[in-house]
Amino acid sequence: MIKIRKYIEDKINELSSDIIKSTQKLLQIKSVKDKAEKNMPFGKGINDCLETTLNIAEKLGLKTKNLDGYAGYAEIGEGNELIGILCHLDVVPEGRGWTYPPYGGEIHDGKIYGRGAIDNKGPAVAVLYALKCLKDSGIEPGKRIRLILGTDEENDWQGLAYYLEKEDMPDLAFTPDAEFPVIYGEKGILHICLSKKIHAGRSEKVEYLSISGGNAVNMVPDFCQAVIRTDEGELIKESLTEYLADNNVKLEIEESNDSIIINS
Ligand SMILES: [Zn+2]
């Protein structure tokens, strides 16, 4: 056991610059769900990312399969039993406010920056190289170990549905989705729509046109914007500025023609 562990540690050290390069390569592909194209059910970006990942797997000597652009897998071992490791290659939109380019895969202070570095391209690459090490170590697990690559995890899970239609359900599975070493539960997520009639208050000359924020329902909103139409712009701006100062809140207030735009 110690021998194997040492073997794998040495092998990972030997492959580390390759592991980093492969991670950067995947981070440089903007794999946000997009309109379907021929043989690309979730758009070109996700398809490129799936193909690139399967190419890396193939070069590492793993058995691969592309399930018509809906999903893919990389596998080692022989046997009836199937161990599944689930990763996904799609990401949510990048949003604003990045210190380094979201699709740059740049390294700063020993960390790789990019959308999907942790969720979930980095872990997918880690699994690929772990499978290669296991394969090269000569261990015969007596079962198949399969990295299943999903492509629609951030939206409708159609990739996994397609996989389950066509392929075996694993006998046992885990997912290194995000933080090391494993997540066994998530807090849950609500997709809700709130609506409320807002009265203008003391002035009938105020109309709330919109309040919106964020880019996707499953990501933390990076901005919020409210648009108010009014002919009492000065008064509203003054009261808002006072309110923000009293409550130590920072928002940007812009005036444009007959509207006030408030940005977080
Ligand atoms: Zn994820």
For residues 222 and 154, membership in a common domain is answered with: no
Q: Quote the mean pLDDT of the chain.
A: 91
For residues 169 and 227, membership in a common domain is answered with: no
For residues 112 and 237, membership in a common domain is answered with: no
Distance 150 CA to ligand 1 centre (A): 10
Q: What is the percent of the chain where pLDDT is above 70?
A: 94
Residue 28 lies in a domain: yes
Distance 245 CA to ligand 1 centre (A): 39
Distance 5 CA to ligand 1 centre (A): 28
Distance 164 CA to ligand 1 centre (A): 19
Residue 9 lies in a domain: yes
For residues 156 and 72, membership in a common domain is answered with: yes
For residues 212 and 166, membership in a common domain is answered with: no
Distance 64 CA to ligand 1 centre (A): 22
For residues 170 and 118, membership in a common domain is answered with: yes
For residues 211 and 148, membership in a common domain is answered with: no
Distance 176 CA to ligand 1 centre (A): 9
pLDDT at site 213: 87
How many structural domains are present in the chain? Answer: 2
pLDDT at site 47: 98
Residue 27 lies in a domain: yes
**Last residue of a domain, which of 159, 174, 189?**
174
Give pLDDT tens digits along the chain (264 positions).
668 888 989 999 999 999 999 999 999 999 999 999 999 999 999 999 999 999 999 999 999 999 999 999 999 999 999 999 999 999 999 988 899 999 999 999 999 999 999 999 999 999 999 999 999 998 888 999 999 999 999 999 999 999 999 999 999 998 888 776 666 777 777 888 888 776 655 556 778 888 888 888 888 888 899 998 888 888 888 888 999 999 998 899 998 888 899 998
Residue 122 lies in a domain: yes
| Each residue's pLDDT tens digit, 16-70 | 999 999 999 999 999 999 999 999 999 999 999 999 999 999 999 999 999 999 9
Residue 182 lies in a domain: no
Distance 177 CA to ligand 1 centre (A): 5
For residue 210, give its domain range.
206-263
Residues acting as catalytic residues: 90, 153
| Each residue's pLDDT tens digit, 236-257 | 888 889 999 999 988 999 988 8
- What HEC string does the chain produce? CHHHHHHHHHHHHHHHHHHHHHHHHHHCCCCECCCCECCECCCHHHHHHHHHHHHHHHHCCCEEEECCCCEEEEEECCCCCEEEEEEECCECCCCCCCCCCCCCCEEECCEEECCCCCCCHHHHHHHHHHHHHHHHHCCCCCCEEEEEEECCCCCCCHHHHHHHHHCCCCCEEECCCCCCCCCCCCCCCCCCCCCCCCCCCCCCCEEEEEEEECCCCCCCCCCEEEEEEECCHHHHHHHHHHHHHHHCCCCEEEEECCEEEEEC
Residue 226 lies in a domain: yes
Residue 191 lies in a domain: no
Residue 180 lies in a domain: no
pLDDT at site 204: 63
For residues 152 and 86, membership in a common domain is answered with: yes
pLDDT at site 181: 66
For residues 163 and 223, membership in a common domain is answered with: no
For residues 137 and 226, membership in a common domain is answered with: no
Q: What is the CATH number of the domain that holds 237?
A: 3.30.70.360
For residues 128 and 30, membership in a common domain is answered with: yes
For residues 158 and 213, membership in a common domain is answered with: no
Q: What is the CATH number of the domain that holds 63?
A: 3.40.630.10
Distance 89 CA to ligand 1 centre (A): 8
Distance 35 CA to ligand 1 centre (A): 21
